[in-house]
Amino acid sequence: MLHVVLIEPEIPPNTGNIARLCLAAGARLHLVGPLGFSLDEKSLRRAGMDYWGRCDIRRWASFPELRAASPEARFFLLTTKSDRHYWSESFADGDHLVFGRETRGLPESLLRENPGRCLTIPMDAGARSLNLATSVGIVLYEALRQLRPDTKNR
């Protein structure tokens, strides 16, 4: 199983869309607080549609708490502040794909502590960033492509 980690997400529809992506991909979604919204917000449920109750979602008070609960896992940090493309990584079952806030990304201190685990989605020079749900979809499905190359539908 792959894991998607959202650290302090701020926009409910993004989180709802990512929950749907995780359900479709068979991935677990980890929400690391504090969240910028309530999990019972209407816009979150609307984006997650009727899938929300079927999603495998775990909540964590902090990123260190999540890491302590998964000491053997590999955590890949997605950021615009890296030159290493996500497709250059060989993903494995159990990997955690970590994404930051919509407005600020991941904390600089976390990136500095884990330089060998930082990955980026390349973009043209005029683009500042991608939507969070789009970014998750790009990297999650590359990891699935690598892990299940012959699977059409599960």
Q: Is residue 68 part of a domain?
A: yes
DSSP 117-133: GEEB----TT-----HH
Q: Is residue 42 part of a domain?
A: yes
Q: Is residue 152 part of a domain?
A: no
Q: Say what the pLDDT of residue 38 is.
A: 79
Q: Say what the pLDDT of residue 36 is.
A: 84
Q: Is residue 129 part of a domain?
A: yes
Look at the pTM and tell me if it is higher than 0.85: yes
The number of domains in the chain is 1
Range in 38-52, 123-137, 138-152 the model is least confident about:
38-52
Judge whether residue 151 has pLDDT over 70.
no
Q: Contact 1/27 with Cβ under 8 angstroms?
A: yes
Q: Is residue 153 part of a domain?
A: no
Predicted confidence (pLDDT) per residue in 80-131, tens digit: 999 999 999 999 999 999 999 999 999 999 999 999 999 999 999 888 889 9
CA–CA separation, 53 and 9 (whole Å): 19
Predicted confidence (pLDDT) per residue in 2-32, tens digit: 999 999 999 888 998 999 999 999 999 999 9
CATH code, domain with 65: 3.40.1280.10
Q: Is residue 93 part of a domain?
A: yes
Structural domain including 30 reads: 3-147
Please write down the long-range contacts of 108-112, taking CB distance under 8 Å and 24 or more positions apart. Answer: 108/81, 110/63, 110/77, 111/77, 111/79, 111/81, 111/82
Q: Is residue 154 part of a domain?
A: no
Q: Is residue 52 part of a domain?
A: yes
